[in-house]
Chains A and B, each alone.
Chain A
Amino acid sequence: MSVFEFLFKYKPIVYSKGHLGFQLLSSPWFFLAFIAVAVAAAIYAYRSIAREKRSPLMIALRATTFAVLLFIFLRPVLNLKTVLPQETYLAVVIDNSESMNIRDEGKETRAELLQKQFQETNFFKKLSDKFRLKIYRFDKEAERIDDVGRMTYAGKRTRIESATDLLSQELASVPLSGVVLITDGVDNASQQWNESLGRLETRHIPFYTVGVGSDRITQDAEIVKISAPRDMLKESTAVVDVAFRSHGFAGRKATLQVRENDTLIKTEEVTLPADGEVSEKTIDLPTKNEGSRIFSFTIQAPGDRIEQNNTLDSLIQIKNDHPQVLYIEGEPRWEFKFLRRAVQDDPNIRLVTFLRSSPNKFYRQGIDNEQMLAEGFPKKREELFAYKGLIFGSIESTFFTQEQLKNVVDFVSTRGGGFMMLGGRNSFAGGRYQNTPVADILPIQMSAEARAPIIDRLKMMLTDYGRSHPLMKLTPDAAANTKMWNDLPPLTDFNKTLEAKAGSIVLAKGTPEDRGNGDPVLLAYQRYGRGRAMAFASGSSWQWQMGMNHEDQTYELFWKQVFRWLVSSSPDPVMVTTDKDSYLPGETVNLNTEVSDKAFNHMNNARVIGKITDPAGNTETVTFDWTGTEDATYHSELNTTTPGTYQVEVEATQGNETLGISKTAFQVKDRPVEFSKAELDARLLENIASQTGGRYYPLSRLGDIPEEAQYVEGTSSFIEQKELWDVPFLFMLLCITLSGEWFWRKKKGLA
């Protein structure tokens, strides 16, 4: 019994739901007249007392005494609308999801605590005395159960709207007095929750919400998100950002393990952040094995109470592709030689070079056949667009026709290729590019006044952005990486550009020995249309190679990374993509295919067929339809239930001509979302209760519900009167007023 109940005989809910009345008065407002009589009587009683001895306090105490006595004699009651026993229904809806297995305090699970509370409060027995009970369990779906013993607490998702939708359907035509909603409030799947709840709200059905669990997770480390590239070239390095959160472990060390198809490939130590905060760790992963590879990231902290949220997967398609890069150079240069040398052992980069070795002679290397580049730099779009990367060395803009220069711009903006201009005598303004279409795609502005490269020793220094950019990572450790860059031999020339363009990313600047040359931009890039363009404003990076021990791979590593960056996101004419790399069982997989011809003209009249191979090896054929809203975009949908990796191969044809074949993969897997942000969401439950006219109860107050839920207005309600004349507080008040008055009178010498 609470103090309130002791003083006022009934629980607060009775007072909040009830209306005051008097058995001897037709309206409670008449009691105001009795109060006036009480005050008058008190004044009358003190009329003979000398003015200096009486006080308003004495009169007030006497008036209160009279008023309380009159209140008692008039037989006060509380009128409550109460359901008739067994005449109405009450729905008890219980969360059946996995998160009910969390041990908030490390001992009993939420489900065990709930069960204990059911038994201790005799919950269902008390409810069934007054209501016709309907018990439901819900996770992603809701269903009616006969008794609470059928709870499994194994649901992978919590979707409260599944319960409200079912209640709306099943109990639409019965007198429903209320809904007891018992959950930890972690709703991770509802999509139209407000609409669903609104349907019950219009029927004025109150929700008695019960919060299970703790609103503060005590000891947990959790992987929150994996940011990884979808596609990578074989023999590359995938840069993956792992976001993790922790509770109760601030400043403590944990290990981060990476597994590739269940084989441990890397272990890193991380420091856990403050409660509820998210930290990130960048991990470099070698992509050695071709195909669809599943990388699993697991965080392990001693004392972790929720292990189910410690692992997340990422699917990376590792392609043994051979994208071609065309490098055109206007004169024999050491930079040309050493760049070719740097990437020659990269099995996934095919470098085709076109060198003007004399005014009338061109030297082709890396060509597939004698016809390749035989006519010079590609004149046709489809010939140029066959490459995924394009590099201009020291070659003047007048070497190209206007059409060719426009094609270069389209190569970046439309085809989505990667373009790079290297520093040199005939590069940038030295090659008079400032007034050509190519100037648009470059990330830097060119100065017509400083055309020739400036000869000066200068160190290449990373910018703040460059220090964290994967392209500039020579080693995973940030401090060691900066040192490696600082230790590189100096460059010996640079093309003086103006500032980087707005929106471009500057990765490195130079610090020339002649400080009058300022800090020129050396390496910058920008996105342009579908592609990207980079400027490396020096022609002397080969000095790094000749200036360092032959076993040092810094030079090779840097340029391989640059070349791969140039081509890594260059699309093929036919490209199939999924909207996510991982789906839940039963979730709809959206497949989109973009179809272009070799010149990257959009094709809206292609025939696009996909073959989907499930984890068991069964193949299903799906047809893609043009969306009609986006050029060259074809769409198809799938519903998959079997967990595992699905392979997708799409072929686009037009007539008898094959436009291209594209492959991708996706994963179907349950994610432990029930254990992510799994603390009790009491605010949500309070909102539901207040919105519907119900009330929120912590689990410890579960036993209050059977009594309180009966005071509901409805067609099956009757008015119950609760007598108030014997409320202890009234008698206590009488004692106080009488003794107070006596004490005062005695002080004044009247007693």
Chain B
Amino acid sequence: MIRRAALLLCFILVLMPLGFTEDPDTQPAEFNFVRLQYNSGRGMDDFYGFGRFGSWATDAWEADYKYMWGIDRMTNVRQSKDPHPVPIMSPDLFKYPYIYAVEVGHMYLSEQEAERLREYLLRGGFWHCDDFWGLGELRSFISQMKKVFPDRPIEELAPDHPIFHAFFDIDKVIQVPNISLGRAYTQSGGRTRTFERGDDTEPRVFGISDDNGRLMVLITYNSDLGDAWEWMDDPDYPAVFTGYAYRLGMNSIIYAMTH
């Protein structure tokens, strides 16, 4: 009896592989959440691998991982499970039509980098710029973006813009605070501020579009979506901000992959 059972088990084990083919999920990712490595002029920006000294690495890699989990759970986007930093001048940049840059108020672009980003965006790339606050950082960011597109306006996106409806319907732009302000907001029962700079407090979503109206650059000003992703599991960080950050982030990905 035992011999028969062992033989049957062997038989099943031999035949099992015939019934299965390659698992499609072992296929490479279609989408990579690419964090753009830029120079902020502070030094050590490019010191990736030995530390996270540059502004580009803010919130890395917790934000990346947790954001990707969300994408994985809620969308059909077949994405890489690992963070994916890419320097502006990397030859690989054009393999990834979506890039994310954080703390762009501290970003400094050389002419060569600006030209490369312009070419990237005109070919069809999409760039999400996040987490910069107040008029000073805004002016700095605009000055850098003028190197990329001297003649294209940076325009505030209206609520009916497709990016607010590509996956979730977002009716209102809200301010997503950093972790400190978010915790304080919870602890105060929603009475404390959520902005970082007093000279310009309202959250706004800007964009730069191509000649056909396709959004190339999404700019989430006076908001920190990265912190909301990074601290999504913090009990003191308000879920309302995390939810919004996820929704807008996923909308940007679906928009980038459909427009």
| Interface flag for A545 (CB, 8 Å) | yes
User: In A342-372, which residues have CB < 8 Å from any B CB?
Assistant: 344-345, 353, 355-359, 361, 363, 365
Assess the A425–B24 pair: CB atoms within 8 A: yes
- Chain B neighbourhood of A290, CB < 8 A: none
Tell which of B75, B76, B94 has the most Cβ of chain A within 10 Å.
B76
Cβ contacts A325-353/B at 8 Å (1 or 0 each): 00000111110111011001100000001
21 A-B residue pairs with Cβ-Cβ distance under 8 Å, sorted by A, are A332-B31, A333-B257, A334-B31, A334-B97, A334-B257, A337-B97, A337-B258, A340-B258, A341-B214, A341-B259, A355-B258, A356-B76, A365-B258, A425-B24, A449-B21, A450-B22, A452-B22, A452-B27, A546-B97, A547-B94, A549-B123
Please give 19 more A-B residue pairs, beta carbons under 8 A apart, in addition to A452-B22, A549-B123: A330-B76, A331-B76, A331-B78, A332-B75, A332-B76, A332-B257, A333-B30, A334-B31, A334-B97, A336-B257, A336-B258, A353-B258, A357-B167, A358-B167, A361-B167, A546-B94, A546-B95, A547-B94, A549-B119
- With an 8 A cutoff between CB atoms, is B125 at the interface? yes
In the complex, A451 has a CB within 8 A of chain B: yes
Identity of the chain B residue whose Cβ is nearest the Cβ of A431 in the assembled complex: B24
Q: How far apart are A341's CB and chain B's nearest CB, in angstroms?
A: 6
Could you mark each residue 88-125 of chain B with 1 if its beta carbon is under 8 Å from any beta carbon of chain A, else 0?
00000011010000000000000000000001001111
A453 at the interface (CB under 8 A from B): yes
On whether the beta carbons of B30 and A363 are closer than 8 Å, the reply is no
- In the complex, are the beta carbons of B256 and A337 less than 8 A apart? yes
B248 close to A (CB within 8 Å): no
Given A341-B259, A344-B212: A357 touches B97 (CB 8 Å cut-off) = no
- Whether A430 sits at the interface, judged by CB under 8 Å, is yes
- Chain B residues whose CB sits within 8 angstroms of the CB of A549 once the complex forms: 119, 123
Residue B28 at the A interface, CB < 8 A?
yes
CA distance A674 to B214 in the complex (A): 59
Among A333, A357, A448, which residue has the most Cβ atoms of chain B within 10 A?
A357
Residue B181 at the A interface, CB < 8 A? Answer: no
- Contact call A332/B77, Cβ cutoff below 8 A: yes
B259's partner among A330, A340, A345, A546 (CB-CB below 8 A) is: A340
Measured in the bound complex, the distance between the Cα atoms of B29 and A487 in whole Å is: 26
Q: Could you tell me if B166 and A363 are in contact, using CB atoms closer than 8 angstroms?
A: yes
Interface residues on A, range: 35 or more
CB contacts (< 8 Å) of A353 on chain B: these are 258
Asked whether A345 lies within 8 Å of B212 as measured between CB atoms, the reply is yes
- CB of A550 closer than 8 Å to a CB of B: yes
Which of A332, A365, A449, A548 makes the CB contact (< 8 A) with B253?
A332
- Whether B74 is near chain A, meaning CB under 8 Å from some CB there, is yes
Q: How far is the CB of A545 from chain B (nearest CB, A)?
A: 6
Tell whether, in the assembled complex, residue A451 and residue B75 are in contact, meaning their CB atoms are under 8 Å apart.
no
Partner of B258, one of A332, A451, A455, A542: A332
What residues of chain B lie closer than 8 Å to A361, measured between beta carbons? 167
B205 part of interface (Cβ distance < 8 Å): no
Q: Is A298 an interface residue (CB 8 A)?
A: no
A546 touches B76 (CB 8 A): no
**In the assembly, what is the distance between CA of A333 and CA of B74, in Å?**
16
Tell me whether B188 is interfacial, beta carbon within 8 Å.
Answer: no
Looking at the assembled complex, report how far the CB atom of B88 sits from the nearest CB atom of chain A, in whole angstroms: 15
**Residue A79 lies at the interface, judged by CB distance under 8 Å to chain B:** no
Closest Cβ–Cβ distance, residue B113 to chain A (whole Å): 17
B254 part of interface (Cβ distance < 8 Å): yes
Task: Kindly report which residue of chain A lies nearest to residue B166, judged by CB atoms.
Answer: A363
Give 1 or 0 for each of A518-561: 1 = CB within 8 Å of chain B CB: 00000000000000000000000011011111100000000000
> Contact at B122–A550, with CB atoms within 8 Å?
yes
* Chain B 210-241 interface residues, beta-carbon cutoff 8 Å to A: 212, 214
Docked complex: A648-676 residues within 8 A CB-CB of B: none
In whole Å, how far is A334's beta carbon from the nearest beta carbon of chain B? 6
8 A-B pairs with least C-beta separation? A550-B122, A332-B257, A331-B76, A550-B123, A452-B22, A546-B94, A358-B75, A332-B77
The distance from the CB of A88 to the nearest CB of chain B, in whole angstroms, is: 86
> Roughly how many angstroms separate A337 CA and B27 CA in the complex, as a whole number?
20
For residues 185 through 210 of chain B, which have their beta carbon under 8 Å from a beta carbon of chain A?
none
* A-chain residues with CB within 8 Å of residue B125 when the two chains form the complex: 546
A residues whose Cβ falls under 8 Å from a Cβ of B: 330-334, 336-338, 340-341, 344-345, 353, 355-359, 361, 363, 365, 425-426, 430, 448-453, 455, 542-543, 545-550
Which of chain B's residues has its CB closest to A332's CB?
B257
Q: How far is the CA of A353 from the CA of B254 in the complex (A)?
A: 14
List A contacts of B94 (CB < 8 A).
546-547
Residues of chain B within 8 A (CB-CB) of A425 are 24, 27, 78
- One digit per residue, 1 when the CB lies within 8 angstroms of any chain A CB and 0 when it does not, for chain B 7-46 equals 0000000000000011110111011000000000000000
Determine the distance from Cα of A547 to Cα of B254 in the docked complex, in whole angstroms. 22
How far is A656 from B157 in the complex, measured between Cα atoms in Å? 49
Given contact pairs A341-B214, A426-B24, A547-B94, A332 touches B30 in the complex (Cβ within 8 A): yes
Contacts of A359 in B (CB 8 A): 76
The answer to whether A455 touches B257, judged by C-beta atoms less than 8 angstroms apart, is: no
- B167 A363 Cβ-Cβ under 8 A: yes
Minimal beta-carbon separation of B151 from chain A (angstroms): 15
Question: Could you tell me the distance between the alpha carbons of A547 and B94 in the complex, rounded to whole angstroms?
Answer: 6
The answer for the CA separation of A730 and B240 in the assembled complex, in Å, is 132
Chain A residues closer than 8 Å to B254, beta-carbon distance: 332, 357, 363
Counting chain A CB atoms within 10 Å of each CB, the highest count among B23, B74, B123, B259 belongs to B123
Q: Which residue from chain B places its CB closest to the CB of A448 in the assembled complex?
A: B21
In the complex, the answer to whether B123 meets A546 with C-beta atoms within 8 Å is yes
Known: A340-B258, A344-B212, A425-B27. A451 touches B123 (CB 8 A): no
Q: Which residues of A contact B77 (CB under 8 A)?
A: 331-332, 357
A345 to B211, CA, bound (A): 11
A331-B31 Cα distance, complex, nearest whole Å: 11
Do residues A455 and B21 form an inter-chain contact, with CB atoms below 8 A? no
Residues of B contacting A341 with CB < 8 Å? 124, 214, 259
- A545 and B123 form a contact (CB under 8 A): yes
Contacts of B22 in A (CB 8 A): 450-452
Q: Which residues from B are CB-within-8-Å of A345?
A: 212
| Interface residues in B243-259 (C-beta closer than 8 Å to A) | 253-254, 256-259
A546 — nearest CB in chain B belongs to which residue? B94
Contact of A331 among B30, B74, B95, B253 (CB under 8 A): B30
**Which residues of B sit under 8 angstroms from A543, Cβ to Cβ?**
95
Question: Whole-angstrom distance between the alpha carbons of A542 and B212 in the complex?
Answer: 18
C-alpha spacing A334/B30, complex, angstroms:
7
A449 vs B256: C-alpha distance when bound (angstroms): 34
C-alpha gap A333/B31 in the complex (Å): 8
Q: Kindly identify, within residues 127 to 172 of chain B, every residue whose CB is under 8 Å from any CB belonging to chain A.
A: 166-167
Closest Cβ of chain B to A451, distance in Å, is 5
B124 touches A337 (CB 8 A): yes
Bound Cα distance from A361 to B97, whole angstroms: 23
Chain A neighbourhood of B23, CB < 8 A: 452
Which residues of the other chain, B, contact A546 by a CB distance below 8 angstroms?
A: 94-95, 97, 123-125
Contacts of A545 in B (CB 8 A): 123-124
Chain A proximity of B87: nearest CB distance (Å): 17
Contacts of A355 in B (CB 8 A): 258
Chain A residues in 8 Å Cβ range of B259: 337, 340-341
In the assembled complex, how far is the CB of residue A336 from the closest CB belonging to chain B, in whole angstroms? 7
Tell me if B119 and A451 are in contact (CB < 8 A): no
Question: When A332-B257, A337-B259, A358-B75 are in contact, do A453 and B27 touch as well, CB less than 8 Å?
Answer: yes
Interface centre among B21, B125, B167 (most CB of A within 10 A): B21
By beta carbon, the residue of chain B nearest A455 is B28
Q: Which of B58-93 contact A (CB under 8 A)?
A: 74-78
- Nearest CB in chain B to that of A341: its residue: B124
Q: Bound complex: CA of A341 vs CA of B214, how far in Å? A: 9
Q: Closest CB of chain A to B182's CB: distance in Å?
A: 27
Residues of B contacting A330 with CB < 8 Å?
76
Q: Which residues of B contact A332 (CB under 8 A)?
A: 30-31, 75-77, 253-254, 257-258
B-side contacts of A450, CB under 8 Å = 21-22
**Known: A549-B119, A550-B119. Contact between A358 and B24, CB under 8 A?**
no
Distance in angstroms from A28 CB to nearest chain B CB is: 100
